[in-house]
Chain A
């Protein structure tokens, strides 16, 4: 079975540019999560969706960050304009809705470098 698919795997861009990260969750999963991982702050939850609706975006650091889920099989995380401090590994994860004992399945991440 295909797992969570993220693209691109690596992104290098200059400060001020728009960055779009993409995620395809596991088919049938109702929840989708976006995380950011850095050495300094560890793994942070940015936002999560249930049935394509954003439930909690309290982890989104600034208005420069936005996330959408137009349908059950696709989500984007956008940074505009990007800054060097946004450099991190961004993970997408998905899970089933049947109670909070359902594990989250992670993609391999997008390594983002802002120059």
Chain B
């Protein structure tokens, strides 16, 4: 079965610092991978998705993620954090041919001034 592991339930950065949120996946087939963001009292919004077209994927709000098959990783990065980036971030994987997503446990990003 497919799964994702997000390391760190909380990550704290200063405004302007690099953001790195970690996600490792387990999949027996080439996966489709997603990052979603959840702001307080809202649903999940898609940040970016990997569908095998390119290993470096750019998303909204300046975020990007790199698919590394050798490391089974899909870490999310942003060069410079903004206060507005404070939210919870979820990594998710789906099987090829299946619409079902398996979500990680989420990482809460805290941004301090």
Binding site for B on A (CB under 8 A): 4, 31, 42-43, 45, 48, 50, 56, 91, 93, 95, 97, 99-109, 111
Contacts and interface: CB of A to CB of B under 8 A. Distances in A.
A104 B32 CA distance: 13
A91 B100 contact: no
Given A103-B34, A103-B49, A97 B99 contact: yes
Given A43-B90, A103-B49, A106-B45, 7 more contacts: A45-B101, A95-B99, A100-B32, A101-B49, A101-B51, A104-B46, A105-B46
Which secondary structure dominates chain A's binding surface? strand
B106 A42 contact: yes
Given A42-B106, A43-B90, A43-B106, A104 B101 contact: yes
B26 to A, nearest CB: 16
Contact of A107 (B34, B43, B51, B105): B43
Contacts of B49: 101, 103
Contact of A100 (B45, B90, B98): B98
Nearest to A59: B100
